[in-house]
Structures are given as structure tokens and as C-alpha cells.
């Protein structure tokens, strides 16, 4: 948001809430540290307590996607907040949700393995939701169709995504200059990616950021899933599993340790011997993200290159 002063953010949330609920806000405060992308506030009126998430108006399509995903997830039995309203006011896109009571997954006293087991069950349910296409932009909510933006070298399809990453493995590849792979390793990676073209994958909806920070645990020890901003249609269950592998490799607090990762797999019903094929998709993800950083976000090149190198060493060892 253009105006990031805490007081004005809270005032904006109060105005949005008051106009929607037709009630005077009694108490409100900003939540700091849990929402990286959006400004997040809690607003209380006489009869309601809601969470207001706000961002620039250009992000409204993401709130449309989140609302759709939350409703689809609820329909298959995944607990989450209810979306009361989304809209744009004064250059600000907003989403009003019911307030979930409980502890954030990072702070909960419930066994982390139990939380991850429930998240494994949820991931399987999410993958059962009917969707079309590939990518992170919801272009047709009626038919659940997603799209990935095309760019130089890719038409935005799964095949285009794969082929772009294969074609990028040249002798003049920036990844070689960055020390991520050698010329010999580049040829080995090419064969791995070519083999992926021969596989028949299932595509489904992915939450995109299954992590402890995106959960609340209520008094009944039920896990509630939050924040669908990174949702996308991709290969399942591979996309969800490789995302958790990435968190493990990076050692992120919100990701699972070895025991918790196994609890997630058990909740989903994935055998550990099925993971080998998924690691090749982790390599594809790491390379594609690094190439995106090279083109779009130079400040991320160094950490993305370091991660890609770790994945190369793990898979080609």
C-alpha cells in the first residue's frame, strides 16, 4: 500500500469495516509480522470481530482467487475463515474475513507433528478440487480455470514451462557462470527434464504455501488453513511436497522437520519411496525460480542460486 503508516492503515480498515457492517468500530489493531504481502488488521464492532486484509488495487484479482479457493476448500471439508466481502475503495483492494480464534501454528502447544498430519489430509482434499489449466492466475472462477502468464520462451503451459527450462540449459547458461551447475551437470539435468516430458502427471489445485505460519489451531485442536495468495494449479501431489522439501532445505521455522514431514506424508498417504521422482520436480522449480530472478528480481539471484546449488548437489550426488 502507498500509505504504510500504522495509524492510517487501521483507520482505513475501520472505514471499510464500518461501511460493510453498518456498525461503528469499537476497537481495532494491526497484526504485525504475520502478513508479509498484505496489511492485516482486526476490527471489532458491537456484534462482529473481523480480519481486514488490504493491499494496492492492482492486487484485487488475488483476493478474488483467495475467496474462490477458501470457498472451494470449505466445500471439501477444510476449515478456514469465511470471506464476508472483497472490493476496492480509495485505491485499496480489501478482503473482510471472519476472525478465527486460536493460536497461530507457530505458537500452538499442540504437537507440530499432529498439525502436519492434518495438513497432509488437507492437501489431499485440496488436490481433489476440480480445476483446469496451469499456473497461479484464476481467470475463470465459474469453471475453476487457472493460467500462467506466457513469457519469452514459454507459452505459459506446463509443456512450455518444461521446454523453456530445457532450452535454457545451453553452454552459455547463466547458471553455469553462477556456479550452480557445470557443463557436464547441465547435460545430466537436461536428461532429467526431458524424462519429465514423457511422464503423465495429474494437475490439481495447490495451496502454494502450506506452512505453520498459515495455520491457526483452535481449542478443539483442529487446524484451520489460512492465506491462499500463492494458490496455483500444478502437478499433484508433487507441487505440495516439493514446496515442503524446499522449506526443509532452507531450514525455515514454518516448515517441517524430518519427523513432521513424515507426518504430512502419512496424513496424505504418500510413501517415502515415491519421493525420488518428486525431487526432479524440485530441481525444475529451483531452476525456474532462479531464471525468474535473473530476469525480474536481481536482488534474489544470490539466495536463489545458493538454493538451486543445494538441490543440484542433493540430486546429482
Helix %, strand %, coil % of the chain (to 5):
50, 20, 30
Please report, for the chain, the start and end positions of each structural domain, with discontinuous segments joined by +.
6-99, 104-316
Nearest-5° angle of CA 243, CA 244, CA 248? 120
pLDDT at 158: 96
Q: In 3D, which of 48, 4, 63 has the Cα closest to residue 30?
A: 4
CA distance 118 to 263: 8
pLDDT tens readout for residues 153-202: 999 999 999 999 999 999 999 999 999 999 999 999 999 999 999 999 99
Write down the pTM of the prediction: 0.92
CA distance 144 to 129: 9
pLDDT tens readout for residues 108-134: 999 999 999 999 999 999 999 999 999
pLDDT at 1: 41
Its sign, for the CA torsion 68, 69, 72, 75, is negative
Angle between helices 112-126 and 60-75 (to 10 degrees): 100
pLDDT at 37: 74
Asked if 140 contacts 90 with a C-beta cutoff of 8 angstroms, the reply is no
CA distance 159 to 133: 12
At 249 the three-state DSSP class reads: helix
Residue 277's pLDDT band (boundaries 50, 70, 90)?
confident
pLDDT at 7: 75
Alpha-carbon Rg for the chain, nearest whole angstrom, is 21
Residue 172's CB is within 10 A of a number of other CB atoms, namely: 6
Asked if 41 contacts 4 with a C-beta cutoff of 8 angstroms, the reply is no
pLDDT at 6: 62
Asked if 20 contacts 94 with a C-beta cutoff of 8 angstroms, the reply is no
Task: For the sheet with 49-56, list strands across it.
Answer: 27-31, 39-44, 49-56, 92-98, 83-89
pLDDT tens readout for residues 80-107: 999 999 999 999 999 999 999 999 999 9
CA distance 131 to 31: 33
Just give the CATH number of 104-316: 3.90.1200.10
Residue 5 confidence (pLDDT) above 70: no
pLDDT at 34: 57
> Does 6-99 carry CATH code 3.30.200.20?
yes
Mean pLDDT of the chain: 94
pLDDT tens readout for residues 214-273: 999 999 999 999 999 999 999 999 999 999 999 999 999 999 999 999 999 999 999 988
CA distance 228 to 54: 14
Q: Which DSSP string do the residues of 36-56 spell out, in sequence order?
A: SSSEEEEEE-SS-EEEEEEEE
List residues bridging with 236 in a β-sheet. Answer: 202
pLDDT at 36: 60
Amino acid at each position: 500500500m502507498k500509505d504504510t503508516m500504522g495509524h492510517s492503515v487501521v483507520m482505513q480498515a475501520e472505514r471499510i469495516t464500518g461501511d460493510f457492517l453498518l456498525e461503528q468500530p469499537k476497537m481495532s489493531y494491526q497484526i504485525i509480522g504475520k502478513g508479509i504481502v498484505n496489511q492485516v488488521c482486526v476490527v471489532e464492532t458491537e456484534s462482529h470481530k473481523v480480519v481486514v486484509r488490504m493491499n494496492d488495487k492492482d492486487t484485487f484479482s488475488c483476493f478474488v482467487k483467495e475467496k474462490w479457493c477458501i470457498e472451494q476448500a470449505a466445500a471439501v471439508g477444510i476449515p478456514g475463515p469465511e470471506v464476508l466481502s472483497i472490493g476496492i475503495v480509495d485505491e485499496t483492494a480489501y478482503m473482510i474475513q471472519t476472525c478465527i480464534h486460536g493460536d497461530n501454528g507457530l505458537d500452538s502447544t499442540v504437537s507440530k507433528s499432529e498439525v502436519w498430519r492434518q495438513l497432509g489430509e488437507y492437501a489431499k482434499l485440496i488436490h481433489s478440487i476440480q480445476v483446469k489449466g496451469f499456473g497461479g492466475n484464476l481467470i475463470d472462477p465459474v469453471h475453476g480455470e487457472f493460467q500462467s502468464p506466457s513469457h519469452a520462451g514459454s507459452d505459459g503451459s506446463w509443456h512450455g514451462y518444461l521446454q523453456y527450462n530445457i532450452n535454457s540449459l545451453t553452454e552459455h547458461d547463466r547458471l553455469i557462470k553462477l556456479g550452480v551447475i557445470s557443463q557436464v551437470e547441465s547435460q545430466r539435468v537436461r536428461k532429467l527434464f526431458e524424462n519429465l516430458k514423457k511422464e503423465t502427471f495429474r494437475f490439481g489445485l495447490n495451496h502454494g504455501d502450506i506452512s505453520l505460519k498459515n495455520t491457526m489451531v483452535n481449542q478443539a485442536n483442529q487446524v484451520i488453513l489460512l492465506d491462499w495468495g500463492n494458490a496455483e494449479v500444478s502437478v499433484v501431489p508433487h507441487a505440495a511436497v516439493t514446496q515442503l522439501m524446499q522449506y526443509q532445505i532452507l531450514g525455515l521455522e514454518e516448515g517441517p522437520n524430518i519427523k513432521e514431514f513424515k507426518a504430512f506424508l502419512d496424513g496424505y498417504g504418500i510413501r517415502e519411496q515415491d519421493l525420488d521422482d518428486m525431487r526432479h520436480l524440485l530441481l525444475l522449480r529451483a531452476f525456474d525460480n532462479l531464471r525468474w530472478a535473473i530476469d525480474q528480481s536481481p536482488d534474489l539471484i544470490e539466495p536463489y542460486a545458493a538454493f538451486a546449488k543445494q538441490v543440484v548437489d542433493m540430486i546429482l550426488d
